[in-house]
Structures are given as structure tokens and as C-alpha cells.
Amino acid sequence: MFLSGSRKAVGVLVCVSWFACSPGVQVRRRARQPLAKNPKSGDDPTGPGAGRGAERYVNAMNPADGRTGGEWKLSPDEYREFAEQGYLLRRGQFTLEELEVLSAAVEAAAGRALADCERVGHAYELDGRRFVDLGHVTVQFEPAPNADAIKVIEPVHEFDPALERLILDERLVSPMRSLLGTERIALWTDKLNLKRPGVGTGFGWHQDSPYWVHACDDVDRLPNVMLVLDEATETNGCLRVIPGSHLRGCLPGSDDGTQLGGFYTDSRGFDAEFQKALAVPAGTLIFFDPHLVHGSRANESHMPRRALVLTYQPGGRPTLKSGRVCDV
Ligand SMILES: O=C(O)CCC(=O)C(=O)O
């Protein structure tokens, strides 16, 4: 999840700006795209995404076009696990060498984003946190006293070719084809979550769907995949999930009077006692449903906890922030 500054306003139009995808990523311009209003999740319990559960995956087991998801597609057991629990782990998907390349890429991306923030960024604050918009890219910083440390960049792939290539990686894309039930899929959004040692703050319990429900006609079909770049432990702030919480669709947001409060899931809507801390080695892929309640704690260790999160959708549809179609 991530909040764009533009999302503060209803009906703000996205200006399509610089965007470069690697060869193979098909990009088509969509001129103007109305952006989301603040969803205040759960405003409409009968709206898109409400109360739909595992059954929405059943049909996707037999893609209408009859093609398979390739070597990396989900097995029926994995598929069932995702449908029931709302998430799925695949360990050992990336080698140490690949992780080194990607780690260098995310550091380069963070350096470029930081330089751009100082040069051309549009800065604003929400609940005392600094955000900077760079065209359609939003950079979120840690709160004081670490306000010069980047927390999230969305989208991030435009800052480095290795991150652009990752969008096309079969280890991410084939399972997504299985989940979406079609060979033709597109990127919805992608972000870099940097949780610097001793500095990185956590993410409150939330679902991603309330962020997206007003920006997309089919919020049920926006599965995420997190690529864990550094070993994730309980002390450096691994991802935490509430298994099965996705089955209830969009849950009400909390109403604590803060600007961002409505984006966090009301604690009465799920039972935090059932949380699972996903302590996993670097190179693990975590697939998770857009309705899954998830979050994480601060990084209290001396080790980084960086992760890339990519979200896909059925093909031919525009990405969340640039409004361009990025078919893979
Ligand atoms: O990186 C994390 O710990 C949490 C990520 C998350 O909640 C998100 O990106 O929606």
C-alpha cells in the first residue's frame, strides 16, 4: 500500500509524464486517468471486493484461454493454499548473485530518487510525515528524526533497468498468470520498501484493496508479490499477515481522526492474535491477496530489511500511477 499525494483530492487528473519500460514491456499511453479519492475503506461494504473469498479463485484454475502458466505456475496445492490463507511463500527463488544485482539496483534507485526529490520534487506532509511527488512517482520518508531516510518509492522500476526487467521475470509472472486465470497480464504498481537498520518504521495493519478500490474496476484481481531482498526476521521487521482475513473483502478503516487513519484496518475487523510473522530467507517470494490484512514492525536490528512489492492485474489495463498500460 502506498498513498500518493494526488490521492488527497477527488478526481485529480494524472499527468502522464516520463516513463520508460524495457523492451518486452509493452507501454501504451492512456491520456488522462481520474485518480482515487480517499477510500475510507469499508465505506461501502457491498461495493467491489466486499465479502468475496476463495471462490473467486476457483475459476482461475482453468484459464479461459486454455494456456498454462509455464514452468513456474502454481501447483493445485499452492493455489488452494493461496485461496484459503490469502498468501503463499516460495523460498529460494532468487540466487545470492541475483539478489546482489537487485540490491545494487535498489540502492541506485534510492540515490536517484533522493537526488530528484531535492531537484524537482513537490513536497508535502501528512500526519507529520514527508512525502515528495516526482511526477507520478511518490517518495515517502521516515518520520523525524530520520526524515531524510526514504521509506517507500512507488513506482520504482523506472529508476533502474534491473528493476524494469524484474517486472517480466517468469518467477513472478507465471504464478500471477495462474492467480489471474489469464495469460495476458499487466503491471498494476510496484514499490520499494526500504527498512533501514534501526531507522525503518513499521507499516500499520492494513489491506491494499481500500487504497485501490476507487482507482480500479476490479480490485479483487490485484495480487501482490513481495521479493524479500534481505533475510527477514522478527527483529528487522518481517512482513506479518492475518491468514484468511482476505475472505471478508474490504474491511472498515479506523476512524482515529488522523489524515491517514482511514487507510488502516479497524482493529475490530480482524483478530491480531492470529497474526503470522513471515520470517523468511532472502530470495523468498511472498504472494498475497489485495484484501489480506498485513503489516510489519520497525527494524530494530543492525540489518537492512529491503523488499520489492509488485502488483499485477489482467492485461490491457492502465497502471495505477502513470496511467499507462504495461502488459507483460
Ligand atoms: O514492507 C512491509 O513490511 C510491509 C509492506 C506493505 O504492507 C505494503 O507494501 O503494502
> Tell me, what's the pLDDT at 317?
96
> What is the mean pLDDT of the segment spanning 20-42?
31
- Ligand 1: residue whose CA is nearest its atom 10: 1
pLDDT band at 327 (very low <50, low <70, confident <90, very high): very high
> What is the mean pLDDT of the segment spanning 168-196?
97
pLDDT at 59 over 70: no
**Is 240 touching ligand 1 by the criterion CB < 6 Å?**
no
For 94-121, the pLDDT digits (tens) are 999 999 999 999 999 999 999 999 999 9
Q: Residue 175 Cα, ligand 1 centroid: separation in angstroms? A: 20
Q: Residue 177 Cα, ligand 1 centroid: separation in angstroms? A: 22
For 81-90, the pLDDT digits (tens) are 999 999 999 9
Note if the pTM is more than 0.85: no
> What is the mean pLDDT of the segment spanning 292-296?
98
pLDDT at 37 over 50: no
> Tell me, what's the pLDDT at 71?
80
**Is 138 touching ligand 1 by the criterion CB < 6 Å?**
no
Q: Residue 31 Cα, ligand 1 centroid: separation in angstroms? A: 30
> What is the mean pLDDT of the segment spanning 273-286?
98
Q: Which of 33, 46, 25, 43 is nearest to 7 (CA)?
A: 33
| Average pLDDT of the chain to the nearest whole number | 83
**Is 208 touching ligand 1 by the criterion CB < 6 Å?**
yes
pLDDT at 171 over 80: yes
- Which three cell numbers mark 288? 498475497
- Ligand 1 pocket test: which of 296, 301, 306 has the largest number of ligand atoms within 8 Å of its C-beta? 296
Minimum-distance ligand 1 atom for the alpha carbon of 206: 7
How many residues make up the chain in this entry? 328
pLDDT band at 131 (very low <50, low <70, confident <90, very high): very high
> What is the mean pLDDT of the segment spanning 211-230?
95
Task: Specify the amino acid at residue 24.
Answer: G
- Ligand 1 pocket test: which of 1, 230, 289 has the largest number of ligand atoms within 8 Å of its C-beta? 1
pLDDT band at 70 (very low <50, low <70, confident <90, very high): low
Buried b (16+ CB within 10 A) or exposed e, 153-192: bbbbbbbbebbbbbbebebbbbbbbbbbbbbebbbbbbbb
**Is 239 touching ligand 1 by the criterion CB < 6 Å?**
yes
Chain-centroid distance of CA 12 in Å reads: 22
Q: State how far the alpha carbon of 23 is from the alpha carbons of 16, 27, 323, in Å.
A: 20, 9, 19
pLDDT band at 174 (very low <50, low <70, confident <90, very high): very high
**Is 286 touching ligand 1 by the criterion CB < 6 Å?**
no
**Is 265 touching ligand 1 by the criterion CB < 6 Å?**
no
CATH number of 5-327: 2.60.120.620
pLDDT over 90 for what percent of the chain?
A: 76
Chain-centroid distance of CA 67 in Å reads: 27
Q: Which of 112, 123, 113, 313 is nearest to 218 (CA)?
A: 313
